[in-house]
Amino acid sequence: MSKPEISSRRMTSMVLRYGLAVLSVCIALSVALLLSHYNFPDVADPLFLFAIAIVVWYAGRGPAILALVLSSLANSYFFIEPLYSIVITRSDVPHLAVFILFASLLTGFATVRRRVERELLQSRDELETEVAERTQQASLLNLTHDTIFVRDMSDIITYWNRGAQELYGWTAEEAFGKRAHQLLRTVFPMPIDEIRAELLRTDRWEGELEKTKADGTQVVVASRWSLRRDLQERPVAILETNNDVTERKRTEEKIRKLNDDLEKRTAELEAINKELEAFAYTISHDLRAPLRHIAGYTELLQKNASSILDEKSHRYMMMILESAKRMGDLIDDLLAFSRIGRAETKMTMVGLEQLVKEALSEVQQETEGRNMDWKIGALPNLYGDRSMLRLALVNLVSNAVKFTRTRPQPKIEIGCADEKDGAVVVFIRDNGVGFEMKYVNKLFGVFQRLHRAEEFEGTGIGLATVQRIIHRHGGRVWAEGIVDRGATFYFSVPKP
């Protein structure tokens, strides 16, 4: 509504209200004159008062005062001696004063009453608006999936939304008026007094609570409490929202249990590892001593009795010495193999080319005088334990050297194959005696040998060691071979 319109309406209403005042007084005057003409005297005062009352009721105080003034004038002019003059004698003053006083009183009362009525109406309107707003809010709260309910300070439920009904199975009608903690059989993680104290201090509380649904099943909820205070800051209600975290808790519990199991298992494994270590230590120390004695005394015997021993006996002695030596080698290799399982890996970037060079110089003694044909391709850097990878390469290279011994032109190729599943693949290929593919899965086993001892010496631990080293790097070993044509050994190490 625009401003000129409002003011024009107010103008109209002013004209109407003051018009009513004038009109009422005129009517009262006419009626009074008419009645006095028919000899009904002394009705003027009540008639004027009646007119003023109507004006004050319908038009308010201003017009009422106008009506009062007009009435007083008309009264004094037409009905108080001397007639037809507004001059009043002294004896009439009390009459007029009482009239004015009474009219003023009437005006005053009516004004107050009107104001009270207007205020009442206004507050009724306000109340209606608020009720509408609250109803809307409540129905909005009802729409959410979250569980929301309100309880007063004595824990009586006063509001219960649809989410609460869905979670707990109680309808709003069932929940209203009940004590929340009783209805839901709430289990608190700490004394309720502490929770209340925190709520009163900070106006909120958060925590996990166990509650029970209508059907008896238990739920764990993440609960948030907010305190509502009235205008005097007195706590009046608690709004609580709940989120069902039962599933999450269950998963967490499961993970925790799995972790516990894992820890227990790790501890067990560590204990076993310690035992193995002690075992290996005993082997290293206690098995070697008798071997040394066998070898030592046999040597001494051979020396002292060489003149009286025949050739056969000499050979027997040789056999004893050889066996002792072989046993010593086996123990050493086995210990080295077990050490790889126990030792911690020290991971760094390792240049494979340098490692291959070192491996080649280590097998130099074995290749001396042989017409070796080496072909070393470009090799990458790997992320791994240097000394372990070196040992793996030495084993693979010395294997290749060993099994090409019968070849007039031994050929050994070391190179990098195509990447496989994000891992670097290295191969060592030889043209040696090879192996039958049906035995390929025996190749990497401990003490597994595919050749007779008199053909090729060895303890059968070299390739098992290689496999263990590569497995500890998260890689894989495999081999291809053709009898009498050669073998290729591959290993892969994941890229960093």
* Residue 93 binding another protein, by CB under 8 A: no
CB of 445 to another protein, least distance (A): 25
Beta-ladder partners of 482: 486
Q: Least separation, in Å, of the C-beta of 331 and another protein?
A: 8
Least distance between another protein and beta carbon 303 (Å): 10
Cis peptide bond N-terminal to 496, omega within 30: no
- For another protein, the closer CB: 304 or 348: 304
Q: What 3-state DSSP class applies to 448?
A: coil
Q: From the CB of 329, what's the least distance to another protein, in Å?
A: 9
Kindly write out the interface string for residues 222-261 of this chain, putting x where it contacts another protein by CB under 8 A and - elsewhere. ----------------------------------------
Residues 332-351 within binding reach of another protein (CB under 8 A): 332, 335
Q: Which of 292, 314, 485, 495 binds another protein (CB under 8 A)?
A: 292
Whether residue 467 contacts residue 443, with contact meaning beta carbons closer than 8 Å, is answered with no
Other C-beta atoms within 10 Å of 98: how many?
11
**Which residues, including other chains, have CB under 8 Å from residue 356's CB and lie 6 or more apart?**
376, 379, 393, 397, 414
**Binding residue for another protein, selected from 297, 316, 374, 447, defined by CB under 8 A:** 297
State yes or no: residue 295 binds another protein (CB under 8 A): yes
Dmax of the chain from CA atoms? 187
The nearest distance, CB 313 to another protein, in angstroms, is 18
DSSP state of 431: -
How many CB atoms neighbour CB 279 within 10 A?
11
Closer to another protein by Cβ: residue 345 or 488: 345
As a whole number of Å, the end-to-end CA separation of the chain is 76
Minimum gap (Å) between residue 262 Cβ and another protein? 28
Stretch that binds another protein, among 77-85, 109-117, 171-179, 294-302 (CB under 8 A): 294-302
Q: Which stretch binds another protein (CB under 8 A): 53-61, 108-116, 234-242, 297-305?
A: 297-305
Out of 5, 173, 193, 286, name the contact with another protein by CB under 8 A: 286
Burial-class residue 352 by CB neighbours within 10 Å (0-12, 13-18, 19+).
buried
374 counts as binding another protein under rule CB under 8 A = no
- Alpha-helical regions (H) of 93-210: 93-143, 162-168, 172-175, 180-183, 192-202
- Give 103 or 295: the residue with its C-beta nearer to another protein: 295
Select from 29-37, 267-275, 279-287, 419-427 the region that touches another protein (CB under 8 A). Answer: 279-287
**Which member of 291, 347, 416, 440 binds another protein (CB under 8 A)?**
291
Positive or negative torsion for Cα 165, 169, 175, 179: negative
Site string for another protein, 28-67 (x = CB under 8 A): ----------------------------------------
324 scored as a contact of another protein (CB under 8 A)? yes
d(CA 185, CA 326): 77
Stretch that binds another protein, among 156-164, 179-187, 284-292, 346-354 (CB under 8 A): 284-292
Q: Strand locations in 321-396, DSSP E?
A: 347-351, 373-376, 381-385
* Gap between the Cα atoms of 112 and 133, Å rounded: 32
* Strand duo 423-430 + 476-482: pairing: unpaired
Task: Select from 437, 440, 417 the least CA-distant residue to 427.
Answer: 417
Question: Residues 6 or more apart from 272 whose CB is under 8 A from it?
Answer: none
Among 1, 143, 190, 289, binds another protein (CB under 8 A): 289
When computed from its CA atoms, the radius of gyration of the chain, rounded to whole angstroms, is: 56
Indicate whether 299 belongs to the interface with another protein (CB under 8 A): yes
Query: Which stretch in 59-67, 177-185, 298-306, 410-418 sits in contact with another protein by CB under 8 A?
Result: 298-306
Among 109, 281, 316, 439, the residue binding another protein under the rule CB under 8 A is 281
Nearest to 403 by CA among 481, 458, 456: 456
Q: How far is the CB of 441 from another protein (least distance, A)?
A: 32
Residue 14: count of CB within 10 angstroms of its CB: 13
Q: Which two tokens stand for residue 401?
A: 């050297």
Query: According to the binding rule CB under 8 A, does residue 285 interact with another protein?
Result: yes
By CB under 8 A, name the binding residues for another protein: 281, 284-286, 288-289, 291-293, 295-300, 324-325, 328, 332, 335
